[in-house]
């Protein structure tokens, strides 16, 4: 059974997505907040610290916009699916607890030869007011599902600046980071089951791409936006190599006014999150 191209452009019915203070705190710890200094990121990891109001890491927006209408994409081996790209626009900072109505649609299925690239867009609006909260765009690469003669899709115009990074920071991950992150909702056994990971071609479970994305987002927030979620307007990047729990991530940033380009690498220099762009609101 081939991928179902009839789904392209069809918007799902709204699905209610709720989160609590506990969910946003758990997410922060799941992407490494407080790992090196438990007191350093208390606005994101606690709700009852003296003089501190709980805030939400901007990259939680991707989770807030998930769940919009599950549809049958076709019959394929789920072990062959990897998260390829992720982008989001955050229209206002998220509350520590909230409820949204989420809709989604597949905007394209592209033929990459060795596989298919499935691109999805989702929107989350406040369930009470209808205010737009998040616009999220993601793509999944499904190995072995290409070669159907379709469009290859648009080309990226991202270029690495021809200078040294303006900022460069390194964040560790925990050996059990994937086990923490999966508690935020992604129970894909690729990140926890050694047998499933082996079937997908990995020597051991890998870190969730969105965990790598969240660790990188923390680096961008603290380095470029003064740790203020209200200044964080959006972020995009392409997953280019797996990260294993316990490895460190170095985020290189090149600033250009209210935007910056970035790239995340491992200690061996392997690029794991590429073609990154972050949009910032002025102070």
Alpha helices, H only, 136-205: 177-181, 194-199
Structural contact between residues 17 and 102, judged by C-beta atoms closer than 8 angstroms: yes
Measured between alpha carbons, how far is 224 from 165 in angstroms, rounded to an integer? 13
Q: Which two tokens stand for residue 148?
A: 């159907």
* Beta carbons within 10 angstroms of residue 186's beta carbon: 19
For residues 152-180, b (16+ Cβ closer than 10 Å) or e, as one string?
eeeeeeeeeeeeebeeebebebbeebbeb
Measured between alpha carbons, how far is 161 from 177 in angstroms, rounded to an integer? 32
Structural contact between residues 112 and 146, judged by C-beta atoms closer than 8 angstroms: yes
Catalytic, out of 83, 191, 208, 274: 191
Measured between alpha carbons, how far is 104 from 92 in angstroms, rounded to an integer? 19
Structural contact between residues 77 and 141, judged by C-beta atoms closer than 8 angstroms: no
User: 23 an active-site residue?
Assistant: no
Catalytic, out of 83, 91, 186, 208: 186
3-state DSSP assignment of residue 27: helix
User: 274 an active-site residue?
Assistant: no
Active-site positions? Answer: 186, 191
């Amino acid at each position: 059974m081939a991928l179902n191209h009839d789904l392209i452009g069809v918007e799902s019915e709204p699905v209610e997505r709720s989160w609590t203070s506990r969910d946003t705190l758990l997410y922060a710890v799941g992407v490494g907040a407080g790992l090196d200094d438990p007191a350093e990121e208390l606005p994101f990891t606690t709700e009852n610290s003296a003089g501190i109001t709980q805030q939400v890491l901007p990259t939680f927006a991707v989770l807030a916009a998930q769940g919009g209408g599950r549809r049958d994409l076709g019959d394929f081996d789920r072990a062959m699916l990897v998260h390829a790209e992720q982008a989001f626009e955050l229209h206002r900072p998220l509350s520590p607890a909230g409820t949204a109505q989420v809709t989604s649609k597949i905007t394209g299925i592209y033929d990459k030869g060795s596989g298919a690239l499935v691109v999805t867009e989702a929107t989350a609006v406040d369930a009470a007011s209808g205010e737009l909260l998040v616009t999220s765009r993601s793509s999944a690469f499904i190995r072995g599902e290409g070669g159907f003669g379709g469009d290859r899709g648009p080309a990226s115009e991202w270029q690495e600046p021809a200078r040294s990074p303006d900022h460069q920071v390194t964040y560790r991950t925990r050996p059990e980071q994937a086990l923490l992150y999966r508690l935020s909702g992604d129970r894909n056994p690729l990140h926890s089951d050694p047998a499933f990971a082996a079937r997908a071609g990995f020597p051991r479970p890998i870190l969730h791409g969105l965990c790598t994305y969240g660790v990188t987002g923390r680096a961008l927030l603290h380095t470029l936006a003064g740790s203020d979620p209200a200044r964080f307007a959006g972020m995009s990047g392409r997953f280019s190599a797996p990260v294993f729990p316990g490895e460190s991530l170095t985020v290189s940033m090149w600033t250009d006014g209210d935007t910056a380009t970035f790239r995340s690498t491992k200690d061996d220099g392997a690029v794991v999150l590429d073609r990154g762009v972050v949009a910032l609101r002025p102070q």
